Amino acid sequence: MCGIAGIYSLKNKGRVELDSMKSMAGLLRHRGPDEAGFYMGDGIGLAHTRLSIIDLSSGTQPIHNEDQSMWIIYNGEVFNYPELRQGLESKGHRFYTTSDTEVLLHLYEQYGLDCLEQLNGQFAFAIWDSAKRELFAARDHVGILPFYFTIVDDTLIFASEIKAIFANQNVTRRLDPLAMDQIFTFWTTLKGRTAFEGINELPPGHFLKVSNGKLEVRKYWDVPFVPRCEQLDTPTDEICENIRGLLLDAVRIRFLRADVPVGAYLSGGLDSSGITAVIVQNFDRDVTTFGIRFEESAFDEGCHQNQMAEFLKTRHSEIQATNEQIGACFADCLWHCEKPLLRTAPAPMFLLSKFVREHNLKVVLTGEGADEFFGGYDVFRETKVRKFLARFPGSRKRAALTGQLYSHIFRDRARVKQSLPMFFGKGLESLSDPLFSHLLRWENTGRIKVFFSDELKQAIGGYDGFAETRESLPADFGQWDCVSRAQYLETVIFLSNYLLSSQGDRMAMANSLEIRPPYLDKRIIEYMSRVPARWKILGMNEKFILKKAYKGIIPDDITSRTKHPYRAPIKNSLLAGQAGVVAREMLSENAIKKAGLFDAKKVALLVRKLEKAEEGSEVDNMALAGILSSQIIYEQFIEGFSTRLARLPSVNLLVDRRTDSAARAN
């Protein structure tokens, strides 16, 4: 992984200063601490900070084609690059490095926009064609890696992280009221929007092209779920055999295609256990694995991860994420997430990535994506249950079915036996709504918007995030089965905009660590999108196909145990110890009124309520995390941003093609 940044004068009138590019690159040092490189041309500047993983000796960026008319800055990995290189060499392309970066550049030179169809990997890149004066940039299919941009005074400014864009003094820093409404409903912003006004995110599966001063953003790929009539009509044994083959190759190219050692995260759940088992049984019997332990038993899976580490004989190390540590690093997490959070879950991932880097590893394989595409989340099972309740409202199975959902939230099963059917019975009249699967969850989350200030509510006005979401759905969405629809919403909103960013890339790259999730191999996504929902969730048995595929590879008690969602304590981390002292200061009446986002009296009542509670309700905990994180984001990026500037890695390459003499002397 790396950091990329650029400035491009759309009308070729502005002169890009090297110092501006260095300031942007300095704020991306954590993404690429090994070296930095720059390309400077008339009206264009490109910057790159490198975390060296492939071609350690000659892969310095920016990288050029044979006649140096094209230059690329690139963040990520294209895992099928050796095969792509062979094809390009047969067409006469010549290479001066062994990197996947150069392969990507030549692939664009050969095929133009169609190059994206051939890529299997995780990437965000920008290519400058100096002959045509065109800029082309793209982001991977599901958004594993980030890409942000804005336009100010006819100048395009882009970077891997928003903080690098804010290094430019002409860029205004303001929180976006509509983004706040989205975050406090969907847990994250919707496609293309960020927490800051005027700062855009290039959506997953999209490219950006600037030609003749005009900017175009266009989709090149979408999650390919299909109607029932187009789904696979294949026996489950054959589906599992195909999945085993795809997983084996997905792990192979992610584990073996690196010039540095590669480890794996191991939580003790099905997803990471399966990936680690594939590594051990096929590629490395002595692989290094890492796991998180928690101070509170309700969040801890230590016994299961230790069971798997012993079963697979890995070199396993674990870190205990105490409540105090989670609270202490929360602000650092937000600096890297660059958006408010309704959970503390990213904090343990931040601590884990730091722990891994202390063990001198730069790359780990992870389990993201399995729940989304193999049917692992409770919201998918909930959708099936609520669809059943809508059709058979008087069924005696109501209590039994709803009682199998969300055991991690509703722990007192006897107490809620009567209330669960009532709770999940809400909104059943909305069965035809395309958002049916998630409306109950989103409306429940939206209750915390009661804490918004009058000023913020007025700025939001009549905006309707649900309407925007409905309008963004594929044309044939209504023809899909209910589980596929739920999977799509979970993927394009939660996976892409929260899980892969706030808990994935951003927490890993905060400590210069690259994550590689094999389940998000494009081939696996496209295959599982055609598997019938009944084989993903058999009755109420989630991830049926994946469990069946792993049978005999990992212990039965791991494959058969109920999914334990990854979570972290909120109230007991944010309001305790020294973190609690900081939190109360950030939530004080003066601080709340200064930011203008929340109602100070209501926030004070929430804090007092949580101080008296043993744990606090799910909604109150979300409200605490969301309000506190918003206050911290305001302080970090709106009030105190100038104090966070970082130093630049060593500059290994500077290509200066500017024609004016002043630039030459710069």
Q: Do 584 and 522 belong to one domain?
A: no
* Location of structure tokens 């804090």: 607
- Residues 168, 230, single domain; the answer is no
Q: Is residue 443 part of a domain?
A: yes
27: nearest Cα among 54, 3, 51: 3
Average pLDDT on 374-388 reads: 90
> Which of the pair, 299 or 124, is modelled with greater confidence?
124
Say yes or no: 251 and 347 in one domain.
yes
449 and 316: one domain?
yes
- Domain-terminating residue out of 536, 569, 602: 569
Place of tokens 């598997």: 531
| Whether residues 549 and 590 fall in one domain | no
Q: Locate tokens 């400077």: which residue?
A: 40
Eight-class DSSP state of 619: H
pLDDT tens digit sequence for 593-615: 999 999 999 999 999 999 998 88
Asked whether residue 190 is assigned to any structural domain, the reply reads: no
Last-in-domain residue among 552, 569, 586: 569
The reply to whether 20 and 48 lie within a common domain is yes
CA dihedral 501, 493, 370, 420 (to 10 degrees): 120
> 542 CB contacts (<8 Å, ≥6 apart)?
375, 376, 377, 378, 380, 381, 536, 563
Tell me, yes or no, whether 367 and 515 share the same domain: yes
End-to-end CA distance of the chain: 29
Which residues does 10 contact at the CB level (< 8 Å), separation at least 6? 151, 154, 155, 156, 210, 213, 214, 215
Single out the residue of 100, 180, 189, 103 nearest to residue 146, CA to CA.
Answer: 189
Domain boundary among 569, 586, 619: 569
Cα within 13 Å of Cα(370), Cβ side: 26
- Token representation of residue 352: 């884990």
516-549, pLDDT tens digit by residue?
A: 999 999 999 999 999 999 999 999 899 999 999 9
How much of the chain, in percent, has pLDDT values that exceed 70? Answer: 93
Where residue 110 sits, what CATH number does that domain have?
A: 3.60.20.10
Is residue 371's pLDDT more than 70? Answer: yes
Paired residues of 64 in beta bridges: 71
Q: How many domains does the chain have?
A: 3
Residues 412 and 446 occupy one common structural domain = yes
Query: Helices 618-633 and 436-445: crossing angle, nearest 10°?
Result: 70
pLDDT in tens, 234-250: 999 999 999 999 999 99
pLDDT bracket for residue 385 (50, 70, 90): confident
Residues 73-123: pLDDT tens digits? 999 999 999 999 999 999 999 999 999 999 999 999 999 999 999 999 999
**What residues make up the domain containing 535?**
224-569
Q: Which amino acid is at 183?
A: I
What's the burial of 19, exposed, middle or buried (CB within 10 Å: 0-12/13-18/19+)?
exposed
For the cut 90, the answer to whether the pLDDT of residue 661 exceeds it is no
H or E stretch covering 503: none
Give a yes or no: residue 421 inside a domain.
yes
pLDDT of residue 11: 83
The 3-state secondary structure of 324-390, one letter per residue: HHHHHHHHHHHHHHCCCCCCCCHHHHHHHHHHHHHCCCCEEECCCCHHHHHCCCHHHHHHHHHHHHH
Regarding whether 470 and 352 lie in a shared domain, the answer is: yes
| Whole-angstrom distance, CA of residue 486 vs CA of residue 548 | 22
Assigned domain for 188 exists: no
pLDDT of residue 412: 55
* pLDDT computed for residue 298 by the predictor: 84
In terms of domains, do 328 and 380 share one? yes
CATH number, domain of 238, equals: 3.40.50.620
Cβ pair 546, 553 in contact under 8 A: no
Task: Say if residue 553 is in the same domain as residue 526.
Answer: yes
Residues 551 and 600 in one domain: no
**Residue 454, pLDDT above cutoff 80:** yes
Mean pLDDT on 581-588: 96
